[in-house]
Chain A
């Protein structure tokens, strides 16, 4: 029986004087499969909502980033930023490609060890490393990036009773012309604090100064700040070579490259405005090459790129639960995935696509998650295709920071699957259940009965 497909009826007012933004062609090409695996079959098997990762995209993105740098500079290394996404399978894809690990807590440090990363290939960043963490890291010959003087003196103290010489670097913060400047991590360049810290380390022979580190911020949308930062890092390194004849092994420029997501309120889509890996590489390396490094003392360049390496590879698939009208007549769609799973919806205007073929018709729609909380807004208003209750949707570019910052709040964390290079689907993190939660709770005897 050839009945015609039903789409919900809609009427839209035409506003003659709409600003150009709304004149931009908004396309909502549906995503009906990921790497050839039909979306609906994924959700039928693994549930809705569902995080889906493409191994192919992860590897391609890594290779693209690595090439952008290695084609311009002889000695380049990427260290995977664990906090961006520390699901073990994801980390190990990066490690297989050659990435070291960059961690910012004792927990992440041990996670990297368990993944099989050689201790000497772990960069330990962050303002808090416990004494136990530091002892472990020193024994493993990991690269400890010092954040403040108290930590420097902790390390000096601990090292006195240890056989191994701690390998340390100094985290530097600086004015790079963007505001607000990140000055809470590391030692400041402009006021001389960083140089002071380096001098103290050089005078203390029980520490081995191996590198210099900076991380100028995240989602840096232009390349100019990296030029400024590279120059200042090179200056410090040259200063050490001059004063102490000490040649550091590496300059670590941190992360911060923007992904192709659109920042909230961004006028143009991020896919049009984000610099490429080549652009960032050119900015950083042109400055390093200008510096007075002797050819045999060119430091290794380390990058701790997080979001730009993983955002594109992650998708959040789910189902429309309901449509409704708000008091002012605006349409609202309620999805089964909320801000508890999609922390990045506080930063980004996420690109939400229908998960099946729909007509070109759209309606201004508020997109809410399923939480009974006013904050659960994925998009305040977006031209959205006419999805009905039960229809699938996909949110693109969710690979960075969501599977680490997601909350068990009101609903449970769902399955995460990986599609491998052959199109085979693997659960890489199992969904949580009531049991998962209850396992960690104890109800005292007198509260057992109600």
Chain B
């Protein structure tokens, strides 16, 4: 999954999508994940990182990760994976 390249993401969690004019806010964890995604980390790498930093196990994290990326898809902030 890749984050759209032209998204503007501020350090405070504000997101602007110039292709639609829509803006969004992220909570700190959402912001951290989106930054990791932008750096092209894989799910495994992101899970590794998050479970090391936060009080969460990998199963729980994965569940919320998929929920979150589901929202990113719904909001069309990601480039669809090539089939």
Tell me the A residues contacting B by CB distance below 8 Å.
3-14, 323, 325, 329, 359, 361, 386, 388-389
Interface of A is mostly: loop
Please tell me if the beta carbons of A6 and B75 are within 8 angstroms of each other in the complex: no
Please tell me if the beta carbons of B71 and A8 are within 8 angstroms of each other in the complex: no
Please tell me if the beta carbons of B67 and A7 are within 8 angstroms of each other in the complex: no
- Given A6-B61, A11-B15, A14-B24, 15 additional A-B pairs, CB 8 A: A5-B55, A6-B50, A6-B54, A6-B60, A8-B29, A8-B64, A9-B64, A11-B25, A13-B22, A13-B23, A13-B75, A325-B70, A325-B71, A329-B71, A386-B27
Cross-chain contact of A9 among B27, B53, B74, B77 (Cβ < 8 A): B27
Q: Which residues from chain A contact B34 at a C-beta distance below 8 Å?
A: 11
Cross-chain contact of A323 among B27, B50, B67, B77 (Cβ < 8 A): B67
- Alpha-carbon distance between A12 and B72 when the two chains are bound, in angstroms: 10
Please tell me if the beta carbons of B29 and A7 are within 8 angstroms of each other in the complex: yes
Cross-chain contact of B54 among A4, A13, A14, A389 (Cβ < 8 A): A4
Q: Which residues from chain A contact B15 at a C-beta distance below 8 Å?
A: 11
Please tell me if the beta carbons of A3 and B64 are within 8 angstroms of each other in the complex: no
- Alpha-carbon distance between A325 and B71 when the two chains are bound, in angstroms: 9
Convert B54-67 into 0s and 1s, putting 1 for each residue whose CB lies closer than 8 angstroms to a CB of A: 11100011001101
Take A11-B15, A325-B70, A329-B71 as given contacts and tell me if A4 and B24 are in contact as well, using a CB distance cutoff of 8 Å. Answer: no
Please tell me if the beta carbons of B55 and A7 are within 8 angstroms of each other in the complex: no
Could you list some 18 contacts between A and B, CB below 8 A? A3-B55, A4-B55, A5-B54, A5-B55, A6-B54, A7-B28, A7-B29, A8-B64, A9-B67, A10-B27, A10-B68, A11-B34, A14-B24, A329-B71, A329-B75, A386-B27, A388-B64, A389-B60
Convert B2-36 into 0s and 1s, putting 1 for each residue whose CB lies closer than 8 angstroms to a CB of A: 00000000000001000000111111111011100
- Alpha-carbon distance between A11 and B60 when the two chains are bound, in angstroms: 18
Q: How many residue-residue contacts, CB under 8 A, span A and B?
A: 74
Please tell me if the beta carbons of B26 and A9 are within 8 angstroms of each other in the complex: yes
Q: Which residues from chain A contact B68 at a C-beta distance below 8 Å?
A: 8-11
Write the chain A residue with the least CB distance to B21: A16
Q: Which residues from chain A contact B30 at a C-beta distance below 8 Å?
A: 9-11
Please tell me if the beta carbons of B74 and A7 are within 8 angstroms of each other in the complex: no
Q: Which of A5, A9, A389 has the most CB of B within 10 A?
A: A9
Write the chain A residue with the least CB distance to B77: A11
Q: How many residues of B contact A (CB 8 A)?
A: 30
> What distance in Å separates the Cβ of A111 from its nearest Cβ neighbour in chain B?
47
Take A8-B64, A10-B68, A11-B72 as given contacts and tell me if A361 and B27 are in contact as well, using a CB distance cutoff of 8 Å. Answer: yes
- Alpha-carbon distance between A115 and B32 when the two chains are bound, in angstroms: 60
Take A8-B68, A10-B68, A11-B72 as given contacts and tell me if A359 and B55 are in contact as well, using a CB distance cutoff of 8 Å. Answer: no
- Alpha-carbon distance between A325 and B69 when the two chains are bound, in angstroms: 12
- Alpha-carbon distance between A386 and B26 when the two chains are bound, in angstroms: 12
- Alpha-carbon distance between A145 and B29 when the two chains are bound, in angstroms: 62
Please tell me if the beta carbons of B29 and A11 are within 8 angstroms of each other in the complex: no
Q: Which residues from chain B contact A12 at a C-beta distance below 8 Å?
A: 24-26
> What distance in Å separates the Cβ of A338 from its nearest Cβ neighbour in chain B?
23
Please tell me if the beta carbons of A6 and B24 are within 8 angstroms of each other in the complex: no
Please tell me if the beta carbons of B29 and A6 are within 8 angstroms of each other in the complex: yes
Q: Which of A4, A6, A325, A359 has the most CB of B within 10 A?
A: A6
Write the chain A residue with the least CB distance to B55: A3
- Alpha-carbon distance between A359 and B23 when the two chains are bound, in angstroms: 21
Write the chain B residue with the least CB distance to A329: B74
- Alpha-carbon distance between A13 and B34 when the two chains are bound, in angstroms: 15
Cross-chain contact of B27 among A5, A7, A14 (Cβ < 8 A): A7
Please tell me if the beta carbons of B67 and A8 are within 8 angstroms of each other in the complex: yes
